[in-house]
Amino acid sequence: MQNNAEAKPNVLRVTDATMQFGGVVALNNLNLEVNKNEIIGLIGPNGAGKTTAFNVITGVYPPTNGAIYLNEHMIISNHPQGKMKTLYAGENNGKHNEVKVLTPDRITKQGVARTFQNIRLFKELTVYENVLIAQHVKLKANVLEATLKLNYKEERVMHLETLRLLEILGLIDVKDYVSTSLPYGKQRHLEIARALATNPQLLLLDEPAAGMNPQESDELMHFVGRIRNDFDLSILMIEHHMQVIMGICDRIYVLDYGSLIADGTPAEIQKNPKVIKAYLGVEE
Amino acid sequence: MPMEFINKKLNKSTKLILTLLLVLACIILTYMLDKGIIGTSYTVRIVRIAVIYSLIGVSMNLVNGFTGVFSLGQAGFMAIGAYCVGIFTIPVDARANVYYLEPISDKIAGFVLPFGVALLMGGLLAALFAALIGAPILKLKSDYLAIATLGFSEIIRAVIANEQMWPITNGSLGLKSIPGFTTLFAPVLISAAGITLMVLLINSSYGRAFKAIREDETAAESMGINLFKHKELSFVVSAFFAGIGGGLLATHLTAIDSNQFKIAVTYELLLIIVLGGLGSVTGTVISAFMISFGKEYLRFFDAAQSIGGWQIPIFRPGLRMVIFSLLLMAVVLFWRRGLMGRKEFSWDGIYNFFRKWPWRFKKLMRGDYKTEAKTKRKSIAAGKAIDSAASKSKRAGRKADKTADREKKKEVKADAE
């Protein structure tokens, strides 16, 4: 399966990404690849640096060291600077000499969308508005055109697209509800809808099944597979529900204390002694 | 079963007709006020102030209420617009009288612009200043941004009053003989146009991006919205209309000086937008009218009043503001998010509001309220019965425990003896 996957072009490639907060190494030399149309799992115990990895990929934090490529096109690159120069003790010192740090909005424009671990919807706006706003990234009209409604054709397309997305995600019945009044599971769906509205090639899901019961997370699992096919996406997801991860992921990366300890297919990961040790500890 | 109230929507053509009627009513009202058919020149003055404050209020709401950026620099932008209009519209022959301490600079001495051009220039100048100061300060958050913008507006005021600026701004002597409005239509139409443009902006995709930033900056940024660009846009547009509003104010007052643009003006505007609802255009307009009229018509409390020859001691100058503040406190207590919250005036809202009353009446007639109360009472009674039964059994249990204890003690005593 892995050989098969390698033939596909990769969408995301993270090389030697290190994130240090002062002396704390949250992410240590992470190397990761997501190929086209793959669903990749990123797992690890609490505090392993999974969400930090997401934040580095989406440009929330500029990495201390390392580079990130989207479709083989560099979007982020940094090397230790200032105080970090003395603190950084990685083996890739000097390997990355270019500095390029895009802000999150520009990375989204390049085709990376994400959801958040602790749901971050536009709280007081309706479900419909939440999805509509996310399409602002595609807008071509300037302020004057938009104000004078000269881009009404573009607007109409945006409205139709919003309805289509809500239909697909099963939120069409609740489209006029205030987003926070939805039940938890629906809010997660809405976050995904909002992310899809930005026309991504790569979708980062941060614990999409958190707080869901087994039946709900089972539904979510099928749902993630479906959107991958429908929207021609590559997906990188953090998840704690092993049932979900093992069920849909093509490959899995395991993080512990900021370092990658294993990667491979679900079957390989389940047998890997290092992973078992990280999750369960060793027998004394 | 109590019946549910269902919100109904009016059809589009009805709404259009109603809106056109409202606009027509406004035009007729303006015409009548203008020609003196209704009201006095005093009323006209208040309407003019209210209209100008509506424009500036909406411009401030655009930044504070819709974009969620806490800016308090509106007075500074108003001053720029006001001085621009003032300096360039005073007739040439009146200028010697205005600049009597230090003559006007030669470069602008014979330079007079028509009102419209001067007004537009004031707005653009204010927008330019906003763009310049926005670049460094819009990276700040909440309170810090407020302080920075407040500082900016004070700087503008200080610069205007500065000695080196006397040949242009006439310093602390201020400007007078600014030609005033000849008709009420000018301020009303300009304000209406400005507010319409801002509403259109708010309803466009850019406006939705502003709202997203207000709701959650992190999420907005990860949805591809450039925070700085959009904040700057809203800040500049807001400053532009504040400048226009300031220009209108200068024409309305015909005499201005830098002390009129102190922080107090910004606070008054803040009051208007908070009272009307942060994030509601119609709320701002309503509250601008309420506050402008309220402040004038409460003057009754400032005059001495007497009952049968006995003069009431508290009726003296200053009481007006006490009453005014009390009313404000009441409004804020009962409508915590301002009069309109984040809602806008809509015909559907009005329609349903009036439908709701007969519905409630019908419900009352059918006795739905009675049955509701009955079921409520029943459920409470049932709950109580359960509670009392539980406590009874508990009490019985406790009693049994106690007697058992006592018996045990007796036994122990008996043993000891």
Specify the CATH number for the domain of residue A90.
3.40.50.300
Helix B115-137 with B74-89: angle, nearest 10 deg: 150
Q: Which residue has the higher pLDDT, B396 or A54?
A: A54
The domain total for chain A is 2
Examine the fold and report which residue of A199, A221, A243 is the final residue of a domain before the chain moves on.
A199
A7/B contact by beta carbon, under 8 A: no
Question: Does A147 sit within 8 Å of B216, measured CB to CB?
Answer: no
A264: number of CA atoms within 13 Å, CB side? 11
Q: What is the pLDDT of residue A162?
A: 93
pLDDT tier at A5 (50, 70, 90 boundaries)? very low
Burial (CB < 10 A; 0-12, 13-18, 19+), residue B397, is exposed
Nearest to A105 among B197, B226, B233 (CB): B226
- Reported residue count of chain A is 284
What pLDDT is attached to residue B395?
A: 79
Cα torsion angle, A206, A208, A209, A211, sign: positive
Q: Would you call B218 and A125 a contact, using CB atoms and an 8 Å cutoff?
A: no
Interchain proximity B222–A194, CB inside 8 Å: no
Quote the pTM value.
0.85
- Mutation target to probe the A interface, by most A beta carbons within 10 A, among B67, B196, B197, B223 is B223
Average the pLDDT over A140-163 and give the result. 89
The residue segments making up the domain with residue A250 are: 2-111+200-280
Residues in A touching B236 (Cβ below 8 Å): none
Q: Are residues A142 and A194 in the same domain?
A: yes
* Domain end marker among A172, A199, A226: A199
Q: What is the pLDDT of residue A195?
A: 92
What is the reported pLDDT for A7? 60
For chain A, counts of helices (H) and of strands (E)? 12, 11
Q: Name residue, tokens 């509106």.
A: B74
Q: Among all residues of chain B, which has the CA nearest to that of A140?
A: B205
One-letter identity of residue A275: V
Structure-block tokens of residue A182: 């939805």
What percent of chain B clears pLDDT 70, i.e. is strictly above it?
98
HSE-CB for B80 with a 13 A CA cutoff? 26
Amino acid at A9: P
Residue from the list A104, A147, A151 with its beta carbon closest to the beta carbon of B222: A104
Go through chain B and tell me how many residues it has.
417
Residue A183 half-sphere exposure, CB side, CA atoms within 13 Å? 6
Dmax over CA atoms of chain A, in Å, equals 72
Provide the ipTM.
Answer: 0.89
Q: Pick A103 or A6 by higher pLDDT.
A: A103
Last residue of a domain, one of A160, A180, A199: A199
How far A26 CA lies from chain B's nearest CA (Å)? 21
Q: Does residue A274 belong to the interface with chain B, where contact is any CB pair within 8 Å?
A: no
Q: What is the mean pLDDT of chain A?
A: 87
Chain A residues with CB under 8 Å of B209 CB are 133, 136
pLDDT: which is higher, B7 or B231: B231
For the cut 80, the answer to whether the pLDDT of residue B316 exceeds it is no
The residue among B219, B215, B238 whose CA lies nearest residue B75 is B238
Question: What burial class does residue A86 get, using C-beta atoms within 10 Å of its C-beta: 0-12 exposed, 13-18 middle, 19+ buried?
Answer: exposed
Contact list, A139 vs chain B (CB under 8 Å): 205
pLDDT of res. B127: 96
Pair A138, A235 in one domain:
no
Q: Flag if A137 and B225 touch (Cβ within 8 Å).
A: yes
Q: Is A142 on the interface with B (CB under 8 A)?
A: no
Q: Which of B139, B202, B222 to mutate to test the interface with A (most CBs of A within 10 A)?
A: B222
CA-CA distance, A254 to A45, in Å (whole number)? 9
CB contact under 8 A, A120 and B223: no
Is the Cα dihedral A64, A66, A68, A69 positive or negative? positive
Q: What does the block give as tokens for B112?
A: 């007079």
B211–A122 C-beta distance less than 8 A: yes
Tokens of A207: 């614990």
Q: Are B224 and A124 within 8 A, CB to CB?
A: no
Report the chain B residue with the minimal C-alpha distance to residue A57.
B222
A150 and A193, same domain (yes or no): yes
- Asked if residue A216 and residue A179 are part of one domain, the reply reads no
The pLDDT score that the predictor gives to residue A46 is 84
Helices vs strands, H then E, count in chain B: 17, 2
CA B63, CA B266: separation in Å to the nearest integer? 13
What confidence score (pLDDT) does residue A183 get? 87
Q: CB distance B204–A135 less than 8 Å?
A: no
Residues ≥6 apart with Cβ < 8 Å to B121: B84, B88, B113
> Which residues, including other chains, have CB under 8 Å from residue B126's CB and lie 6 or more apart?
B77, B78, B80, B81, B239, B240, B242, B243, B246
How far is C-alpha A13 from the geometric centre of its chain's CA atoms?
13
Locate the chain A residue with the closest alpha carbon to B226: A105
Q: Do A102 and A226 belong together in one domain? A: yes
Helix (H) or strand (E) holding A75: strand A73-78
Residue B323 pLDDT greater than 90, yes or no: no
- Which residues from B are below 8 Å from A147, CB to CB? 197, 200-201, 204, 206
- The Cα-based distances of B10 to B18, B280, B350, B362 in angstroms read 11, 22, 10, 22
Give the residue with greater pLDDT, A21 vs B238.
B238
Q: Which of A109, A129, A146 sits opposite B204 (nearest CB)?
A: A146
Q: How many CB atoms lie within 10 A of CB B122?
A: 31
B264, B75, B48, B90: which is closest to B175 by C-alpha?
B90
* Of the ranges A175-179, B200-204, B363-367, the best mean pLDDT one: B200-204
SS3 state at B397: helix
Same domain, A132 and A103: no
DSSP 3-state assignment of B71? Answer: coil
Q: Do B223 and A137 touch (CB under 8 A)?
A: yes
A234 shares a domain with A178:
no
Cβ contact, residue pair B219, A114, below 8 Å: no
Number of other residues whose CB lies within 10 A of the CB of residue B249? 25
Residue A166 and residue A251 in one domain: no
Question: What's residue A1's pLDDT?
Answer: 42
pLDDT-wise least confident of A120-129, A228-237, B165-174, B255-264: B165-174
Tens digits of residue pLDDT in B390-413: 777 777 777 887 887 887 777 777
Residue B226 near residue B116 (C-beta atoms within 8 A): no
The answer to whether B214 and B142 are in contact (CB under 8 A) is: no
For residue A203, the surrounding DSSP H or E stretch is: strand A202-206
Are residues A230 and A103 both part of a single domain? yes
Residue B123's Cα: distance from chain center in Å? 21
Q: Please indicate whether residue B295 or residue B286 has the higher confidence score (pLDDT).
A: B286
To test the contact with chain B by mutation, choose from A107, A119, A136, A201 the residue with the greatest count of B C-beta atoms within 10 A, namely A136
> Do A147 and B206 count as a contact with CB atoms less than 8 A apart?
yes
**Judging by DSSP bridges, how do beta strands A24-35 and A10-21 pair with one another?**
antiparallel
Q: Cβ of A124 and B342 within 8 Å?
A: yes
Asked if A136 lies within 8 A of B206 by C-beta distance, the reply is: yes
**Whether residue A205 is found in the same domain as residue A188:** no
Shared domain for A157 and A207, answered yes or no, is no
pLDDT at A194: 92
Most confident among B186-190, B292-296, B348-352 (mean pLDDT)? B186-190
Residue A173 sits in the same domain as residue A237: no
Q: What is the pLDDT of residues B36-58, one digit of tens each?
A: 888 788 889 999 999 999 999 99
Answer yes or no: are the C-beta atoms of A17 and A29 closer than 8 Å: yes
Contact B224 A105 (CB under 8 A): yes
Q: Look at residue B369 and tell me whether its pLDDT is greater than 80.
A: no
pLDDT value at residue A73: 87
Q: What pLDDT does A2 receive? A: 45
